[in-house]
Amino acid sequence: MKRIALLGMPNTGKSTLFNRLSGASARVGNWPGITVDLMSAKILVGGHIAELIDLPGLYDLHGFSDDEQVVRHFLSQHTIDLALIVLNSVQIDRQLSLALQIRALGLPTVLLLNMADEAKRAQINIDTDKMREHLGMPVLAISAKYGASCPEALTLAAQVMAQHAPIAAAQIAEKLAEDHHIEQAMDTIITQSVSMPVQLNDETTDRIDRVLLHPIFGLPLFFASIFLLFQFIFSVGAPLQAGMAWLFDNLRSQWLEPALAHLPSWLNGLLLDGLYTGVSTVAAFVPIIVLFFLVMSMVEDSGYLSRAAFLMDALMAKMGLDGRGFVMVLMGFGCNVPALMGTRVMRSRPMRLLTMLVIPLSLCSARLQVFLFMIAILFAPAKAALVMFSLYMVSFFTIFLTAILFKHRYQSHEPFVLELPPYRFPTPRQIWLRGWQEVKHFLQRASKFIVIGVLMVWLLTHLPMGATPASAQTWAGSIGHFFAPVLDPIGIDTQLAIALIFGFVAKEIVVGSLAVIYGLQGDALSQQIALNIDWVQGMSFMLFTLIYTPCLSTIATLRTEAKSQAFMWLSLAWSLTLAWIVSFMFYQTARLLGY
């Protein structure tokens, strides 16, 4: 099988092109460093199956960051049939150097000048014929976002692969060890083949930035925007969630209960009260989670997160971090795992470790399901968005506190350089791919962690045989009794304690666990929880869930990325300790005030 390597600098649209050519759903974001691992897909090129590999973005083949090392290692260890080089047409004068470095390796190459639509708006004219003559490789202007000339790119790739033999890894390894001085050649090519205005002008971006990057109002506007997004998600998502819950309730009562009535009582309970109740309760939140990611994908792809990094850099610097760390934290609101991997763009190991220490404190989408569930039960709809916003603010507080406390342990003097991309609005196709990616991610986890988790909870709350389900005589009751001295002072009872224990595996299990523990779903489950705990206990439970240990996937990624088991244990111990302290202070203070 032929192998095609997709290469380019960060933020050139490589992942967008990867999705366009392969139909896959690689993570796409308007921020350098989103692609942090090797992604591959099989595509049809010239009548042959080829493997397309999306490599991490890099600025220099001879750089020392982790992502640059990943690319060098890949090129020096694998035979490459073709290199597809993707450059940003608007920044061709700064990015052509990478194409010259790759050309020096002797690889069969095709140069794709992406974002041709933006270059046209900026009045940048590139003579692809002259550039092809100078570079000695095919050059094609494309727009991966809209699909312009993408089929032609595949045709060109097939022609080049048919005309050239693949380059062995050993040959590439030899040439990577050399130092190539290419500035003069780059200047010559740019001068003769590119026509650029004296000053690039994007009036729309400038006008928006005058407001959003205002030194006084910029940050308040950012947090206000986030609050309004939450309000929108709650307002639109609540009816969708209620509709899903109604659908699952009717499916159980009209179809499943009659169909399984002949089974032994223990098996009937395991399948209905255990498996179905747990999984369906979690699944009812899928629409609102998808809505959350659709909205956040538009924010990410727009370029606003890069502006948020710029606004937060001065504040983050006082805590030992920088604006990139803030963006990784925002990425962690979706999922901690890619955010941890995204720290590879940082060249300073102390800066990277400090950033990885704070990322697990981000309110990820799995925790979001727990909070949506509890807030809907314990708070009026008018207060829901405010409570959710307060949890995000607590997340930021714990992140800032952790950074301040540990910044002297992980000191870094790496400068922060940020290039602000123009504002872009994602296409409906990009938005749809992002939403589908999150649904697929949920289904994958549901088929593993959630199913196993809810079944384990059912066994713990129903064994030994003869014990009253979810009573103190069950194994779950014994576990809750064991942790009572630690959890009673923060208002967490036995039922909530069992849910927290399984939340260590995956936070999505927490909601399903509660459904199994109480043996109820839908409105009946909500009413029972509201009778068992008040809003103070519920808030303490949410605060603890927000801060305590992340899921197993995050822990495994933390261990791999840090390359230190001691660092992993430090992160776990600190998050558990901080979670208990914050919950204790809130719960005891609220009780002293008479709530």
Return the residue matching tokens 């839908």: 522
Please report the pLDDT score of residue 37 as a whole number.
55
- What's the rounded Cα separation, in Å, for the pair 537 and 475? 23
Burial (CB < 10 A; 0-12, 13-18, 19+), residue 594, is: exposed
Please report the pLDDT score of residue 417 as a whole number.
62
Backbone angles phi, psi at 346, to 5 degrees: -90, 125
Q: Are 136 and 192 in contact (CB under 8 A)?
A: no
Tokens in use for 204? 């729309």
For the chain, the distance separating the N- and C-terminal CA atoms, rounded to the nearest angstrom, is 67
pTM: 0.67
SS3 of residue 581 by DSSP: helix
What residue segments make up the domains of the chain, in order of their start?
2-195, 219-412+434-592
Interaxial angle between packed helices 349-358 and 565-592, expressed in degrees from 0 to 180 and rounded to the nearest 10:
40
Q: Could you give the residue ranges of the DSSP H alpha helices within 303-364?
A: 304-317, 323-332, 336-342, 349-358
Return the residue matching tokens 């493997």: 51
Q: In sequence order, which residues have a C-beta less than 8 Å from that of residue 506 and are 6 or more positions away?
A: 366, 445, 449, 450, 453, 551, 552, 553
Among candidates 462, 486, 501, 448, which has minimal Cα distance to 583?
Answer: 486
Q: In sequence order, which residues have a C-beta less than 8 Å from that of residue 576 and are 6 or more positions away?
A: 548, 549
- What Rg do the C-alpha atoms of the chain give, in angstroms? 27
Q: CB under 8 Å, gap of 24 or more: what pairs does 207-212 form? A: 208/423, 209/307, 209/420, 212/304, 212/307
Pick the CATH number of 2-195 from 1.10.287.3510, 3.40.50.300, 3.30.70.1520, 3.20.20.70: 3.40.50.300
Q: CB under 8 Å, gap of 24 or more: what pairs does 272-275 form? A: 273/458, 273/516, 273/519, 274/454, 274/455, 274/457, 274/458, 274/516, 275/451, 275/454, 275/455, 275/458
Among candidates 202, 32, 190, 27, which has minimal Cα distance to 118?
Answer: 202
Q: Which residue ranges of the chain lie beneath pLDDT 50?
A: 27-29, 31-36, 179
Write the DSSP symbol of residue 217.
Answer: T
Please report the pLDDT score of residue 31 as a whole number.
46
Please report the pLDDT score of residue 143 as a whole number.
93
- What's the rounded Cα separation, in Å, for the pair 163 and 137? 12
Please report the pLDDT score of residue 402 as a whole number.
95
Identity (one letter) of the amino acid at 60? D
